[in-house]
């Protein structure tokens, strides 16, 4: 059901410093910051040959990433995103298998302009999972 790894998301306390580290120390292609008010974050995508890294920074104090950074002040891996061909079919299959979809259970538009859903980390070995329709 799941396809390729789309990205690994890392919450960062200082977006500019994290971008500089990936660009200058690692020589990666770092994209421009992109505000995602519907998700409460600013994102920056880093292109790799086989996937992407998504840097996440809170847009405000009510952002879920602000809460994550309070618990993890240095930042850390926030979620992994897998591609699926049909997000509604994937959701229905996962729910029937006992997985919990976060929020309303309906897809939202993600940073790539495509439908996304998040799955409860307690159902996936402590890892928050994002599904993105391709």
Give the model's pLDDT for residue 92: 98
Q: Decide if 38 contacts 115 (C-beta within 8 A).
A: no
Give the model's pLDDT for residue 59: 95
The yes-or-no answer on residue 130 being catalytic is yes
pLDDT tens string for the chain (134 positions)?
899 999 999 999 999 999 999 999 999 999 999 999 999 999 999 999 999 999 999 999 999 999 999 999 999 999 999 999 999 999 999 999 999 999 999 999 999 999 999 999 999 999 999 999 99
Give the model's pLDDT for residue 27: 96
- How far is C-alpha 44 from the chain's CA centre? 11
Q: Decide if 65 contacts 38 (C-beta within 8 A).
A: no
pTM here?
0.95
- Out of 54, 130, 132, 133, the active site residue is 130
Give the model's pLDDT for residue 55: 98
Give the model's pLDDT for residue 90: 98
Give the model's pLDDT for residue 24: 97
Q: Collect all residues with Cβ–Cβ distance below 8 Å to 39 and sequence separation of at least 6.
A: 64, 108, 110, 111
For residue 60, give both structure tokens: 């405000």
Q: Decide if 36 contacts 60 (C-beta within 8 A).
A: no
Give the model's pLDDT for residue 3: 96
Q: Decide if 110 contacts 104 (C-beta within 8 A).
A: no
Q: Which fold has domain 5-133?
A: 2,3-Dihydroxybiphenyl 1,2-Dioxygenase; domain 1 (3.10.180)
Give the model's pLDDT for residue 95: 97
- Domain extent listing, the chain: 5-133
């Amino acid at each position: 059901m799941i396809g390729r790894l789309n990205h690994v998301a890392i919450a960062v306390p200082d977006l500019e410093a994290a971008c500089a580290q990936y660009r200058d120390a690692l020589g990666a292609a770092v994209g421009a910051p992109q505000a995602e008010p519907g998700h409460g974050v600013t994102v920056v995508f880093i292109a790799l040959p086989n996937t992407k890294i998504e840097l996440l920074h809170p847009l405000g104090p009510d952002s879920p990433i602000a809460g994550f950074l309070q618990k993890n002040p240095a930042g850390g891996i926030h979620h992994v995103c897998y591609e699926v061909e049909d997000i509604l079919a994937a959701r229905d299959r996962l729910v029937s298998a006992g997985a919990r979809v976060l929020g309303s259970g309906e897809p939202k538009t993600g940073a790539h302009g495509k439908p996304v859903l998040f799955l409860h980390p307690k159902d996936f070995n402590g890892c928050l999972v994002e599904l993105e329709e391709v």
